[in-house]
Amino acid sequence: MDTTSTPDAVAQGHAHGSAPTNADTPASLVVVRHPLVQHKLALLRDRRTPTKIFKELVDEIAMLMAYEATADLALAEVSVETPLERTVGHEVSGKKLTLVPILRAGLGMVEGILRLVPAARVGHIGLYRDHDTLEPVDYYFKVPGDAAERDFFVLDPMLATGGSAASAVTSLKRAGATRIKFLCLVAAPVGVRRLAEAHPDVTIYCASLDRELNPQGYILPGLGDAGDRLFGTR
Ligand code: URA
């Protein structure tokens, strides 16, 4: 794997958490360029990184990305009594958060986000990519019943063709969800375009907007098969 090429988003040099300036990238894309995210992403890309460390890095990056993606959560004032006096604090008051990993690689992002938002529920969407057509095949869908009352974070480390991502969001909307964000680690331009065109209301968070897909549907420079590297099935 050529890990020497520079992913577009890093080359653009925009501040962490900001939208890219490239005219081809949609307004709904946020590239999280926090230095710790970029440092951990470089380790994640390295082919020599073993499964245990790969898992820990996905977990940590997901947590840092969730920090950015939760920046607009609604707050309400609460009265707090400190050991010295009564004061006004703030608590998260908006809709309840639900994480929806796309099986199986999305599972690797759940625990890190739950450490930040322990009260979040976890749904699951089972989609796999047909290796010939590269189109998503749907085999499992389970989310909380009160979907309209919830914020959703759809999780998948790799936004490649965008087929699985768009299909997952369509299924969530069919279940009543209206407030959905998509969190991935590495995105391909074609995947971002496809998801943004199908669902312009969904903000897409990634740690890197990479160069392209190869003919087998792998992101370049990418990090290989995220599911295999997470679960040691390579
Ligand atoms: N899924 C992966 O795990 N890696 C890619 O590069 C593309 C899709």
Does the pLDDT value for residue 122 go beyond 90? yes
pLDDT (tens digit, 9 = 90+) per residue, 100-112? 999 999 999 999 9
Q: Please, where are the H alpha helices in the chain?
A: 8-12, 35-45, 51-69, 110-116, 163-174, 189-198, 226-231
pLDDT recorded at residue 17: 58
CATH of domain 9-225: 3.40.50.2020
Q: Which residues are annotated as a binding site?
A: 104, 129, 156-164, 219, 224-226
Give the separation between CA 100 and CA 114, rounded to whole angstroms. 12
Interval 222-233: pLDDT, tens: 999 999 999 999
Residue 104 main-chain phi, psi, to 5 deg? -105, -20
Read off the pTM: 0.89
Mean pLDDT of the chain: 90
Give 22's pLDDT tier (boundaries 50, 70, 90). Answer: low
What residue spans of 49-142 are helical by DSSP H?
A: 51-69, 110-116
Contact 68, 29 (CB under 8 A): no
CA of 3 to the centre of ligand 1 (A): 15
Of the chain, the percentage scoring pLDDT greater than 90 comes to: 82
Which 8-state DSSP code applies to residue 222?
S
The band of 135, judged by pLDDT with boundaries at 50, 70 and 90, is confident
Q: What are phi and psi of 224, to 5 degrees?
A: 90, -155
pLDDT band at 95 (very low <50, low <70, confident <90, very high): confident
Residues in the chain, total: 234
For atom 3 of ligand 1, which residue has the closest CA?
A: 225
Residue 149 Cβ contacting ligand 1 at under 6 Å: no
pLDDT at 129: 67
Ligand 1 close to Cβ of residue 160 (< 6 A):
yes
Active site residues: 129, 133, 225, 228
pLDDT of 7 higher than 80 = no
pLDDT digits (tens, 9 = 90+) for 40-82: 999 999 999 999 999 999 999 999 999 999 999 999 999 999 9
| 8 A C-beta contact, residue 99 and residue 111 | no
